[in-house]
Structure 1
């Protein structure tokens, strides 16, 4: 008698006894990363409170490019029971939330503003803004990097890109603060203020568009109107959405990453001093601090069908976290990944900007902003040292230091 032995089935991610992780309430990213590293020693995927978390560099790299793993409709909303209504309608219509032909069309229109050549034109503005912010605290030799520098840094640059007058920049900063509440885990309580801010921005953009239809200028809003006039037929709704999307993608991310990068460099004064002596290392410092201390731990995806990832089946409909923070610290692609080294050259590219069709549109601008900020700050704020705790905001969403009080040698 012949006995047939069935080939082993690929295990279901929920039935495989994978390690559990939960870092939602931690305020120290090093503790969270240590938890993730321990989990990765046991398996390439862990189970978190919101779904499976993919932890290895290779698996995250491939999953970011897998069309069967889509950006979830409504981002954080659906997982909180919000699947309809005015906020749902707005979020699902953003370019961040789109896939397919419509996403490709809108990216093609907007990406022209974010090529290295296009963003380089903003360098003078960028350097002027960061020097102006450091001017306010240089004589005193102390500041809160979050409140005094990082919070005020990217808005003038995004506004310059859009063509917004300087007198309205603070209003844009307030609107942006409200928008980001739509991408947190407690949306319901903030919904009225989010919607009010979004409507105010829509009204402002309507005014910009009406004015520029009569007199186009050299800014992104004018460029988008030109694209419409050339037959691409961008609607006013799409113009509003793109402006809101740029604010969401280009402000709080840069604010938080600048603070996070400075914070980890405060822990490594030799690296800060080296950067002050060698500004040519600023580009490397951006890559290394974003690898080591990213302000976004993971990217959300939903499996549109059963998908095998790193040897496990993720069932259709499952919310998946592609944990780029853990991937960046994979010892298989980065030697001594917990060590910060702004001269590092051997590691594979960090994945903090994502990958595939949803690779961050503003990556070139973000790199420019962070490079110039670190260059100026390391030169003008020598011997920087932390003077108090610098806890991070919740790590399950967009994070970064909530405060970063520092002292430095004054007068530079």
Structure 2
């Protein structure tokens, strides 16, 4: 903030307050968000200022003066140093400034639409295989039977790991991801996380050694090939990127798939519309991520006293883009709470973030979700929820913890035809 600034300190501006608990779900806080949003573009939440408007959230995510503190998920649990903290702080998710720009530039050369488009057959095989397992029963839990096992095989296929090793990756991801969770009520065994991460690193070392002699048609080979002005990725960076892709591409996709299936089930007309018009799949992904996102809160910290949006944010203040609120901003979206997979002429959702940390895997995530929704709406006729579907906290990766549904067996549908 300059000496001549007259901006009011964000904590002294008389802004609306949000006093939800740290375990509150998106559904729990929607009414309060809507009330606060009608008063101001910013509210004071339980952990700090939350930006609620679409335009201000978009600008905030692009403003490099607000940065993600390295190892923030570990710091929330009292871990601010040590080997695990160092691994997170030096990952693509933890870096900022010039080191982040360099690494992202190299990775973007490998993470191309061509690299993800060749996964089409694998994606369809995986989701159809999961549906096959539950088809005859006429019911399933979408979370445990479909969403949870869905993404890991696809990320493994993208990297070039053979199918017989996919379960290893699933186990490593399950353990390592505990360190990436922002929720303060989640505890984990640091030694167990480091053990799993060490096993993953050793596996990646072997993959890299094999690719050095014979590059293949997979993402790991593309990362090895990637070069920018003579610069290449080191072995340590390759290890970190593989772990980062697994963490970023697994839990997000599985939670969003379950959330998207739930909102479609709760709007049978939209389920049938997607079944009859599969060309709407990408729009269905965008709309479900707008209406029922698995990622709702993006944390940043002010690196200095910052004047932004007419307020002064003191240095060190944790500030949150509440993208759940921003994606339902009535100033941007007509009938913002209505779920409509045919929405047109709307701005991009903020669920994938923005600015320097915009999700590198956004295209892959969209493709995975779209293909899964096309198969599910085609093969599961008239699904209906048959039990509670509680969600996780809005402060971490959210989505239903269970989603029991019942549907007409595909075999019965064919018999009646």
Structure 1 and Structure 2 fold alike (TM over 0.5): yes
Hey, what's the Cα distance between the residues in 1 that align with 2:110 and 2:130? 25
Hey, what's the Cα distance between the residues in 2 that align with 1:183 and 1:18? 31
Hey, what's the Cα distance between the residues in 1 that align with 2:229 and 2:303? 36
- 1:3: which partner in 2? none
1:120-269 equivalence runs, <5 A: 120-184=117-181, 185-186=183-184, 189-227=188-226, 231-269=230-268
Hey, what's the Cα distance between the residues in 2 that align with 1:206 and 1:229? 22
- Classify 1:346/1:216 alpha carbon distance in 2 versus 1 (closer, same or farther; 3 Å): closer
2:51 to 54, 57, 82: 54
Hey, what's the Cα distance between the residues in 2 that align with 1:188 and 1:381? 37
- Preserved contact between residue 178 and residue 188 of structure 2 (Cα < 8 Å): no
| CA-to-aligned-CA distance 1:133-177 (integer Å, 9 cap, x gap) | 111111221111110111111111110111111111112112112
- 1:347: which partner in 2? 346
1:36 Cα deviation from its structure 2 partner: 1.4
Q: TM-score by structure 2 length?
A: 0.93
Hey, what's the Cα distance between the residues in 1 that align with 2:156 and 2:177? 17
1:190 Cα deviation from its structure 2 partner: 3.6
- 1:4: which partner in 2? none
- Preserved contact between residue 109 and residue 226 of structure 2 (Cα < 8 Å): no
- Classify 1:129/1:23 alpha carbon distance in 2 versus 1 (closer, same or farther; 3 Å): farther
1:361 Cα deviation from its structure 2 partner: 0.2
Q: In structure 2, the residue corresponding to 1:334 is in which secondary structure?
A: coil
Q: In structure 2, the residue corresponding to 1:373 is in which secondary structure?
A: helix
- Preserved contact between residue 10 and residue 313 of structure 1 (Cα < 8 Å): yes
- Preserved contact between residue 26 and residue 32 of structure 1 (Cα < 8 Å): no
| CA-to-aligned-CA distance 1:244-285 (integer Å, 9 cap, x gap) | 010111111000000000011111111111111111111111
- 1:381: which partner in 2? 380
- Preserved contact between residue 114 and residue 364 of structure 1 (Cα < 8 Å): no
RMSD: 1.9
1:110 Cα deviation from its structure 2 partner: 1.8
1:327 Cα deviation from its structure 2 partner: 0.4
1:355-374 equivalence runs, <5 A: 355-374=354-373
- Preserved contact between residue 114 and residue 365 of structure 1 (Cα < 8 Å): no
- Classify 1:229/1:280 alpha carbon distance in 2 versus 1 (closer, same or farther; 3 Å): closer
- 1:19: which partner in 2? 16
| CA-to-aligned-CA distance 1:196-252 (integer Å, 9 cap, x gap) | 221111111112122222332221222222337994242221111010010111111
Q: TM-score by structure 1 length?
A: 0.94
Hey, what's the Cα distance between the residues in 2 that align with 1:15 and 1:256? 37
Runs of at least 4 residues of structure 1 off by over 3 A? 22-28, 186-190, 227-231
| CA-to-aligned-CA distance 1:336-366 (integer Å, 9 cap, x gap) | 1111011111322111001111110000000
Q: In structure 2, the residue corresponding to 1:320 is in which secondary structure?
A: strand
- Preserved contact between residue 163 and residue 221 of structure 1 (Cα < 8 Å): yes
| CA-to-aligned-CA distance 1:51-92 (integer Å, 9 cap, x gap) | 211110011000111111112121223344322111210110
- Preserved contact between residue 112 and residue 118 of structure 1 (Cα < 8 Å): no
1:25 Cα deviation from its structure 2 partner: 4.4
Deviates more, 1:179-188 or 1:50-59: 179-188
1:401 Cα deviation from its structure 2 partner: 0.8
Gaps of 5+ in 2: 412-417
Q: In structure 1, the residue corresponding to 2:128 is in which secondary structure?
A: helix
- 1:103: which partner in 2? 100
1:188 Cα deviation from its structure 2 partner: 5.4
- Classify 1:355/1:230 alpha carbon distance in 2 versus 1 (closer, same or farther; 3 Å): closer
Gaps of 5+ in 1: 1-6
| CA-to-aligned-CA distance 1:95-121 (integer Å, 9 cap, x gap) | 011122221222122223433333211
